[in-house]
Amino acid sequence: MIYSRNRRLRVNESMRGLVRECSLSTDDFVMPVFVMEGENKEEAISSMPGIFRRSIDLTVKECKELFSLGVKAVNLYMKVSDHLKDNTGKEAWNKDGLMQNTIKAIKDAVPEMVIMPDVALDPYSIYGHDGIIENGKIMNDATNEALARMSVSHAEAGADIVAPSDMMDGRVLAIREALEESGFYDVGILSYAAKYASSFYGPFRSALDSAPKDDMEIPKDKKTYQMDFHNSREALNEVFKDVEEGADIIMIKPGLPYLDIVSKVREAIDLPIAVYNVSGEYAMLKAAAQNGWLDNDKAIIESLTCFKRAGADMIFTYAAKEAAILLNR
């Protein structure tokens, strides 16, 4: 005789919903947004179907639509013109730069939208690296000074949270101190604490032309500062340091291949955890769906729900708008 039957709690959708352990909502999403120079311009990103680079005016229009769908946070990335790139990244803190003007325009149009600009030098670097290079090496402390200046300029423009994605040692403390000294006590830091040197970033780097350049005198990849994908204990070390330095939110990146890291970090800290459903993950799902191998809508909702089940509080995903439309139905 069987007295304990798990299937009793699966008999219909009402029962399954009643005992469901986690759920997905539009409040969970952060939409990455790519911005380019110009006016009334939109360029499709071929490796990420449905994703575009847009000029500021069309970016503002998109943000209004996102907010109306319930997506209340955006993560901003700039497609920087080549003539503005150098080895210092100084365009990154130009008060009249593309990022700063984008932040102002979105905040004016959608005041309640949470704006999280990316803080890293690779879009501004002639080398495509996240740091300043001297004698063929990525300079940690000099880069931190640049990132702090960049963060303050974002705060001055109206950013709610700055999101350093560079993986330099000590940059959270440098940014926190700079924000405090400048009077931006309420601007948060979302730290990419456990960002791995992953092969899943390819479509993103092509979208911004931010891949490391093929130069014999500089590193060909980002493995000297991003994490080794073989390691998990190291992720906790990185997370604990960023928490001590003043991070408000912790990011794990990539997402789907790193759910074990999300789960470990969730058990270790009480701060909010973000996870990045990166471009390669998005591109794989879209390619499979376009070939008829997956049901696009079901796969999107299932994969995003998995992040919540693993312990994430928020999800950076290129599918945010599409998922919001599905959930609103």
Core vs surface per residue 250-276: b (16+ CB within 10 A) or e = bbbbbbbebbebbbbbbeebebebbbb
Give the H/E segment covering residue 33: strand 29-35
Active-site residue identified among 85, 253, 308, 321:
253
Q: Cα(182)–Cα(103) distance, rounded to whole angstroms?
A: 18
Q: Are 326 and 85 in contact (CB under 8 A)?
A: no
Which one is catalytic: 85, 107, 195, 321?
195
Q: Is 253 a catalytic residue?
A: yes
Q: Which tokens hold the place of 301?
A: 């909702």
Angle at 220 between CA 218 and CA 224, to 5 degrees: 85
| Residue whose structure tokens are 């999300």 | 262
Upstream peptide bond of 254 is cis (omega within 30 degrees of 0)? yes
85 is catalytic: no
- Strands (DSSP E) contained in 137-185 are 137-139, 161-164
Annotated catalytic residues are 195, 253
